[in-house]
Amino acid sequence: GDSVTQMEGPVTLSEEAFLTINCTYTATGYPSLFWYVQYPGEGLQLLLKATKADDKGSNKGFEATYRKETTSFHLEKGSVQVSDSAVYFCALIFSNAGGTSYGKLTFGQGTILTVHP
Amino acid sequence: ETGVTQSPTHLIKTRGQQVTLRCSSQSGHNTVSWYQQALGQGPQFIFQYYREEENGRGNFPPRFSGLQFPNYSSELNVNALELDDSALYLCASSFGPPVKDEQYFGPGTRLTVT
């Protein structure tokens, strides 16, 4: 079945450091890929998405590129801030060649990011 | 535009009891999905409702059931609660199906089973 694997965490960085959180996936067909962020005590917020190979999703300084050849969707940010401290989830929605899907999001286990001043 | 809302925020129940959680979808969305997030884990798909019918189900037993109403709001019902049902329950809405695009999540209901 479909699955998502995220890098082992937690990740601790100093403010303005470069961030990479690795994500790889296993899926048949043509999944859409997402990064969600969860701040303490809150639900999930969509951070960025990519719906086909070589697409780059970006938002709030975060970027991720859909790499079909390596089945990866790594999250990057050039300069993190204390306010970026949260749990980050990589996720996919599978769809077949016709683009149909019932929209089940499959999540990775999450990566805790802590940024110190 | 109104976002996804869930009620109640927190709930404490005893093993064997039944619970109902509620979700109002984002304005313009007609599909609701429910997820269970255990502590320290990623969310797990429970089921999805579209046009008041179940449109897909994850690996959860039948004591997890749901409803969707004509206004697209939804309920998650769990019977015969077990200790392992303690989790954050998340509702997400979207427009579809087919749903290949993003889902928008509510703040969740924290259920504790004692």
Contact between chains at B90 and A44 (C-beta distance less than 8 A): yes
CA angle, residues A12, A51, B29, in degrees to nearest 5: 95
What residues in B contact A4, CB-CB < 8 Å? 42
Note the pLDDT of residue A56.
97
Q: Going along B15-63, which residue ranges are E strands? A: 19-24, 31-37, 44-50, 53-57
Helices and strands (H and E) in chain A: how many: 0, 12
Pick from B100, B106, B107: CB nearest A93: B100
Looking at residues A102-109, what average pLDDT do you find?
86
Looking at residues B50-59, what average pLDDT do you find?
88
Note the pLDDT of residue B51.
85
Sign of CA dihedral B102, B49, B85, B91: positive
Pick from B6, B42, B56: CB nearest A102: B56
Contact residues for A53 (Cβ-Cβ < 8 A; gap 6+): A66, A67, A68
The residue of chain A nearest to residue B4, with distances taken between CA atoms, is A43
**Residue pLDDT, tens place only, A8-49:** 789 999 999 999 999 999 987 778 899 999 998 888 999 999
What is the largest distance, in Å, between two alpha-carbon atoms of chain B? Answer: 39
How distant is the Cα of A27 from the closest Cα of chain B, in angstroms? 14
Closest CA to B39 of A20, A106, A112, A36: A112
Contact residues for B69 (Cβ-Cβ < 8 A; gap 6+): B52, B75
Note the pLDDT of residue A2.
82
CA angle, residues B47, A94, A113, in degrees to nearest 5: 85
Contact between chains at B56 and A104 (C-beta distance less than 8 A): yes
CB contact B60 to A (< 8 Å): no
Give the A window 9-48 contacts with B, CB below 8 Å: 32, 34, 36, 42-46
Note the pLDDT of residue B35.
96
Looking at residues B44-59, what average pLDDT do you find?
89
Note the pLDDT of residue B102.
79
Going by pLDDT thresholds of 50, 70 and 90, the confidence category of residue A99 is low
